[in-house]
Amino acid sequence: MSDSESNKNQQKHRQRQQKVKEQVDAKVAAADKVQGIFQVITGNGKGKSTSGFGTVARCAGHGKQAVVAQFIKGMWECGERNLLEKAGVPFAVMKTGFTWETQNRETDTQAAQQTWQQAKAWLQDDSIDLVLLDELTYMVSYDYIDLEEVLHAIAHRPKMQSVIVTGRGAHRKLTELADTVSEVRNVKHAFESGIKALEGFDF
């Protein structure tokens, strides 16, 4: 490439970047609302809860108050809980050990309701910056927690509080209310090729 060609390319690149910068600057200037954000992380791929916990760590890292309600007790110990509780993040975990295997509708509903009461109190507390409602979507799908009650509590939370709901098959009304919705698509998963869930990676 000759010197003049190289200069031309440089100039073209600079012009393109300048345009991108102007567009981004305009969007940044337009985003002037200061308020908490409601995010839904759904879909069949891996990475929903870990993403939610990542934001909890981000929030706690800034010295802000994050809390976690887990609506399905994992079959294994939750690595994030071991770490985050030490960092001052309270957890509410469903007591009776609701997992995919349990079939007792009455005790499952009771367990879901108990954790939901704690979550609801957090959703009214303006000293809390972030509420992670991990696997809440299933409680709504199974009718263990009333959808309208969830929508009302999230919609009427303190102005600066953010909320994250994770779980597959998020109800349309939840995604409609949300400011940010991410759908994690399953391209492939180690489990499908027979690789066992791994401590420190899957839980």
Q: Which one of the spans 47-55, 107-115, 122-130, 156-164 is the region binding ligand ATP (CB under 6 A)? A: 47-55
CA–CA dist 138, 146 (Å, integer): 11
Compute the least distance from the CB of residue 199 to ligand ATP, in Å.
10
Compute the least distance from the CB of residue 166 to Mg ion, in Å.
5
Q: Which one of the spans 22-30, 140-148, 150-158, 183-191 is the region binding ligand ATP (CB under 6 A)? A: 183-191
Which residue of 49, 115, 137, 161 would you call a contact of ligand ATP, by CB under 6 A?
A: 49
Nearer to Mg ion, 49 or 115 (CB): 49
C-alpha 97 chain-centroid distance = 22
195 binds ligand ATP, rule: CB under 6 A: no
Nearer to ligand ATP, 102 or 158 (CB): 102
Report the b/e string of 61-89 with b at 16+ CB within 10 A: eeeebbbbbbbbbbeeebbbbeebeeeeb
For residues 122, 157, 136, 110, the Cα torsion angle rounded to the nearest 10 degrees is 50
For residues 177, 125, 110, 138, the Cα torsion angle rounded to the nearest 10 degrees is 30
For 119, what's the count of Cα atoms within 13 Å in the CB-facing half-sphere? 31
203 binds ligand ATP, rule: CB under 6 A: yes
Q: Which one of the spans 6-14, 18-26, 145-153, 185-193 is the region binding ligand ATP (CB under 6 A)? A: 185-193
Strand partners of residue 67: 131
Could you list the residues that contact Mg ion (CB under 5 A)?
48-49
